[in-house]
C-alpha cells in the first residue's frame, strides 16, 4: 500500500517503517508481536452515494450473495482466531447493511476494534 501523504508530501507516519524499510523491526513501529493484520472488509455492495473516486461499482439496491449475520459472526470468529486487532468496514456503504450495528457489537465482543 502506498501512503498518499508520504508520496505527495514526503511526510513520515506510523507504519512507514514497516512498509518502506526492508528488514525493519516491528517493535520499533509500535506493533505488537502475535497480532494479526488489519483487515478491510467490504461488508456490502449496497451504497446510496455516487462518489467519483469509488472503485466498488456499488448501487442503491440489495445484492445477492452477501454474508448472512451468522456467516458474518463466523468470519469475525476466524479473524479473532488470527489475532486481527482491527476491522475496517468498507463496501459500498457499510451503514446501508441492515445488521451492521449487530456486526459491530459482535466484533467488539471478540475484542476486535472496528472503524
Looking up cell 514497516 gives: 18
DSSP 87: E
Say whether pLDDT at 9 is over 60. yes
**Per-residue pLDDT at 81 exceeds 90:** yes
The pTM (predicted TM-score) of the whole model is 0.69
43 within 8 A of 78, measured Cβ to Cβ: no
pLDDT digit string (tens) for 43-78? 999 999 888 888 777 888 888 899 999 999 999 999
- The confidence score (pLDDT) of residue 94 equals 93
Amino acid at each position: 500500500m502506498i501512503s498518499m501523504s508520504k508520496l505527495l508530501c514526503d511526510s513520515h507516519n506510523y507504519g512507514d517503517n514497516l512498509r518502506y524499510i526492508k528488514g525493519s523491526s516491528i517493535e520499533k513501529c509500535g506493533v505488537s508481536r502475535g497480532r494479526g493484520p488489519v483487515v478491510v472488509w467490504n461488508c456490502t455492495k449496497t451504497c446510496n452515494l455516487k462518489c467519483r473516486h469509488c472503485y466498488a461499482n456499488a448501487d442503491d439496491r440489495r445484492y445477492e450473495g452477501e454474508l448472512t449475520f451468522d456467516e458474518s459472526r463466523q468470519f469475525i470468529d476466524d479473524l479473532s482466531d488470527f489475532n486481527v486487532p482491527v476491522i475496517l468496514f468498507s463496501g459500498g456503504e457499510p451503514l446501508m447493511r441492515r445488521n451492521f450495528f449487530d456486526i459491530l457489537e459482535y466484533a467488539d465482543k471478540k475484542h476486535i476494534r472496528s472503524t
